[in-house]
Chains A and B, each alone.
Chain A
Amino acid sequence: MSFITPYFTLPKFTYYKPDSISEALSLLKQHNGKARVLAGGVMLVNMMKERIALPEYVIDLKGIRELKGINVTESGVEIGSTVTASELQQSDIIKKFCQPLAKAASYMGDKILQNSVTIGGNISIGMPSTDGLPALMSMGALLEVRSADSARMLPSSDLVVNIGRTNLRSDEMITKIIVPNAAESRGTYVKFLNASEIAIATVAVSLMLVQKKLRIVVGAISAKPYYFDESSIGWRWDENIKENIKTVADAIGSNLKPISDAVAGSEYRREVSKILVARALKELFGGT
């Protein structure tokens, strides 16, 4: 987080508030490269104040009903990209089927900002501090990415390229988040904050009961979250899980390359990550 004194006014822009996804996408195409979509505004408005983002056109997505719902379908749980962090925490569907996401949403900003923060905005800015992305990656979520001329499914683990850089083109936006096989999964999300409430590390864990697949994601320690499953840590969830928690945490810790900065050193972030992995697994499976 930078402490540059913000300008108290925003740069000039033209404001659009479309009613449908197709209208928003055609505006994005028409003003390709000069337009930004506005969802909750928590990131974009501050980036405009600091002149980090200088869009000539701002496309407000809050008037689009299609981007709002949380539904259970054949393909899994579908979440509209402008669903807010408060709505995620209150949704019975999310609480039941997407436990890591419900918990991650409770960490996004403070209680007031959570009425504004959207899941799409939280992940698509591409900041390492995102709570939404590790949770979605642990659940193997897919992102429906659309432009005026194309639509594709992007695995959530392929979204972020580097700090502030994503695989989204300037004429594309995330319209929907799909969590496959959500009904057969359970999981959790844990986070460690320092005294200034800056994340040292976050860990999301998700277990697919039918395929017996365990996914562990460690976030906030590098440009993009680290993803681990059985193949990457060489370990199966049903082999006396309770006794193996420390082994798994150590195996994950030795595979991390956390950054060092003024907030925390690399080794400290690694130790915290190991402890968080162990905490999350204990919460899920019990044991010591």
Chain B
Amino acid sequence: MRTIAITVNGISREVTIEENELLLNVLRDKLGVTSVKAACWRGECGLCTVLLNGLPVKSCMTLAVEAEGKEVVTAEGLYTDERARKLQESFVEHGAMQCGFCTPAFVVTSHYVLSKNPEIDGDDLKKELSGVICRCGTYYQIYDAVMDARKHYRDKNI
């Protein structure tokens, strides 16, 4: 048992964890961040993707202690970012979901991808999003939604 400090979605949190706990479990069960989904538990589906110090990682493959002193951002934390809100609206407009279970992970991942390169398109974009799986198969709509949201990330005024 040890108590670690993590910044989750901009808020400093202290949480008591076991050393063998996964970041995924701590986020969902101890910190109440439920946009982070648990599905395959082995790093294949990507639904547990979070931004750890700005980089997307799969939280089912990350020990909670590894996040000590670091910043975690999930889909909930993107509400402060105007561009990310527009990105989420684009997902709705394009119907980029059926059951919606993968949507938080796709939003987080595509937010990272567009922040890095708002000009990305074609196979590069598909490759960047390849770490997350949508079992309903709404990939075309997700691709369109992200392509459409690129304009918001180019706009320096936001």
Decide if B57 touches A112 in the complex (CB within 8 Å): yes
A-B contact pairs, 8 of them (CB 8 A): A45-B61, A46-B42, A58-B63, A109-B131, A111-B130, A112-B46, A112-B49, A116-B61
Residues of A within 8 A of B127 (CB): 111
User: Closest CB of chain A to B29's CB: distance in Å?
Assistant: 11
Binary flags per residue of A54-90, CB closer than 8 Å to B gives 1, else 0: 0000101010000000000000000000000010000
**A113 adjacent to B66 (CB under 8 Å):** no
Of the residues B20, B38, B109, contact of A9 by C-beta under 8 Å: B20
Interface stretch of the complex, out of A12-20, A22-30, A172-180, A264-272: A12-20
Whether A12 contacts B131 by the Cβ 8 Å rule is no
Contacts of A60 on B, CB cut-off 8 Å? 63, 65-66
Interchain CA distance A111-B131 in the complex, whole Å:
6
Taking the closest CB of chain A, its distance from the CB of B6, in whole angstroms, is 15
Q: Which residues of A contact B131 (CB under 8 A)?
A: 109-113
Contact B132 A49 (CB under 8 A): no
With a cutoff of 8 Å between Cβ atoms, the chain B residues found around residue A62 in the complex are 66
13 more contacts with CB within 8 A, not counting A12-B18, A111-B127, A112-B57, are A8-B25, A8-B38, A12-B19, A12-B20, A15-B65, A38-B63, A41-B62, A45-B22, A45-B61, A110-B131, A112-B46, A113-B43, A115-B55
Interchain CA distance A12-B18 in the complex, whole Å: 9
B contacts with A, residue count (CB < 8 A):
28
The 10 closest A-B pairs by CB, nearest first: A112-B131, A110-B131, A10-B20, A15-B19, A115-B55, A112-B56, A111-B131, A110-B130, A45-B61, A6-B41
From residue B107, how far is it (CB to closest CB) to chain A in Å? 14
Are A112 and B58 touching (Cβ within 8 A)? yes
- Cβ-based interface call for A164 (8 A): no
User: CB of A286 within 8 A of chain B?
Assistant: no
CB-contacts of B1-56 with A (<8 A): 18-22, 25, 38, 41-43, 46, 49, 55-56
A42 within 8 A of B: yes
Is B128 an interface position by the 8 A CB rule?
Answer: yes
Q: How far is the CB of A214 from chain B (nearest CB, A)?
A: 30
